[in-house]
Amino acid sequence: MANLRICTYPDPVLRQRAAEVTAIDREICRLIDDMAETMYKAPGIGLAANQIGKPLRILVIDIQKPDHEQGLIVLVNPQIVGAQGETTFEEGCLSVPEFFSNVKRFEEVTVRGFDKNEKAVEITANGLLAVALQHEIDHLEGRLFIDRIGPVARDVFKRKWKKKLRDQKE
């Protein structure tokens, strides 16, 4: 297994719509294992394949809460098939380090996809898991959480990001 490099904003791969996975073979299983290891080491609660430079429709999530039995969730070719309600969560992202902002999302989602063993999976979730699923599926569509924040928050982000880039050059 490997600890993969996480692509950060404004890397163009983060804006690509990820391609469908046509077969869950040994190479895809290895990628999934590497993604999970990378997510845990980051540390994060979710990671989409395009965040590590592989524009494929694969995500891993582990919200790492003691009261949550799910553990590691692997979804290949996930899609939201149902959604309701509205909630606001403060989100951050491994690809947009050191920036957090409130994001409006659906309160509950139902997501379908396949697990690592090509078994069909359907998850209905609310709370943090629903937010994480939506966040990671957004990545697979080439969207970042900063695309979902209001104009004032986006302006704050742009100013902070420009300052961060200036500070890195010094």
Over the stretch 131-144, which tens digit does the pLDDT of each residue have?
999 999 999 999 99
Q: Are 157 and 95 spatial neighbours (Cβ–Cβ below 8 Å)?
A: no
Residue 149 lies in a domain: yes
The span from the CA of 126 to the CA of 91, in Å, is: 15
The span from the CA of 170 to the CA of 75, in Å, is: 41
Residue 2 lies in a domain: no
Residue 163 lies in a domain: yes
- Domain count for the chain, please give it: 1
pLDDT at 1: 54
Residue 133 lies in a domain: yes
Q: Which residue has the higher pLDDT, 65 or 118?
A: 118
CATH of the domain at 163: 3.90.45.10
Residue 1 lies in a domain: no
Residue at token pair 């998850």: 123
Of the residues 69, 98, 108, 136, only one is catalytic, namely 136
Q: How far is CA 86 from CA 105, 130, 138, in A?
A: 6, 11, 16
Per-residue pLDDT of 82-127, as tens digits, reads 999 999 999 999 999 989 999 999 999 999 999 999 999 999 999 9
Residue 106 lies in a domain: yes
Residue 64 lies in a domain: yes
Active-site residue, 136 included: yes
Residue 3 lies in a domain: no
Domain boundaries, position 74: 12-169
Q: Are 36 and 74 spatial neighbours (Cβ–Cβ below 8 Å)?
A: yes
